[in-house]
Structures are given as C-alpha cells and as structure tokens.
Amino acid sequence: MYKVALSFVVLMSVAFSVNAEEKKFYFGLTVGGIEYQETDFDTSLTAFTGRFGYAINENLDVEGRYISVGSGSDGDSKLSIEGMASALVKYKVFLQPDHRVNVHGFLGTTVARTSSNRGGDTTVTNAGLSLGLGVDLYVDDDRGVNIEWIHYMDAEARHEQFSMDYLGIGYIQWF
C-alpha cells in the first residue's frame, strides 16, 4: 500500500518542474511534543528537530531530519530516546497562486535509539515507516512558519506495541 502511495506521489509530481531561478534548498528548526504510548506505559516528551531539504520540483521535496528528544517516565518506568533520524519524501500542494500557503504529506523512514528500564535495562535501535501532514505559511519568498504532525516509526504495521506521534511548530528558510 505504501509503495503504491509513494509511486503515485512521484508520478503526479513529475509533470511539474522547479524554475532554475527558484531556491531549491531549505533548512528548518521545529519544537514540539512526542506522545509515546506502549502497553502500560505513556509519556510526553519535548522534541527539537533540525531538518534539511531539497526541492526536486515544485511539488516534491526530499528531506533529512535529526530529532533530539530526551527522557520521560511513567511511575517507576523510564524511557530515553537518545536520537532519531528520518529520511522523508514531502509532497506539497499550494493553496494560493503566490505559493504563500501549502499543505503537504510526508512518507519515509525513521531510525531511533531508545533506552528503557522496563524489563531490565535495555537499549534498542528500531526503524520503521513514518508518515504525516503539515502546513507551511510563508511571510515572504524565503521564510515561513511550519506546523506538522508526524506518526514516527509505524510500529503497528510491524505488529509492535508502541506508537510515537509528534506535533510541532517551527521555522523554515529557503536558500
């Protein structure tokens, strides 16, 4: 299913091309919260995200992210997400002719290293599919505000018992 969706996004965006005079690279910083849920364990964590992207064309970007999360607890149980990295494809649809507002969807993969004292001290590296939605609101041609939700590492698709949902707001700069 995900392969079909990704193929559809790529095929739909091939018809559009980025003007050679337009900026193709961007970076962004985002702050938000991750809701981590597992059987008998829930915690909320603050997350800081740095990202770097490249516009393949007007509607399709590729993006790399590093997410710094930290630790959380639920009673005596503790969880530490030591780091997360993502590689995502971003498909954008502009809502105004001047490109000041776009909505977008994400699809890609995320790797996370976690430590927990549940069931003994363990450190685990997991990887999985990530997907999400967002909105970019631009104040000019180069700078904007970003709001997004991402479901990191779709563990349910792998029949694991945890979920990580992120909601954040941030800054985006094109160059």
CATH of the domain at 107: 2.40.160.20
Pairing of strands 162-174, 77-94: unpaired
Predicted TM-score (pTM) of this structure:
0.82
Parent domain of 154: 2-8+23-174
Strand partners, 84: 67, 112
Higher pLDDT: 30 or 14? It is 30
The total domain count for the chain is 1
Residue 29 maps to a domain: yes
Query: Could you read off the pLDDT of 63-75 as tens digits, one per residue?
Result: 999 999 989 988 8
Residue 14 maps to a domain: no
Q: Which range is least confidently modeled, 6-20, 84-98, 130-144?
A: 6-20
Q: What pLDDT score was predicted for residue 158?
A: 59
Residue 17 maps to a domain: no
Q: What is the mean pLDDT of residues 35-54?
A: 92
Residue 13 maps to a domain: no
Residue 15 maps to a domain: no
Residue 16 maps to a domain: no
Q: Where are the alpha helices (DSSP H) in the chain?
A: 2-13
Query: Could you read off the pLDDT of 88-140 as tens digits, one per residue?
Result: 999 999 998 888 999 999 999 999 998 988 777 888 888 899 999 999 999 99
Reduced to 3 states (helix: H, G, I; strand: E, B; else coil), residue 99 is coil
Residue 107 maps to a domain: yes
Residue 36 maps to a domain: yes
Q: What pLDDT score was predicted for residue 14?
A: 43
Higher pLDDT: 39 or 132? It is 132
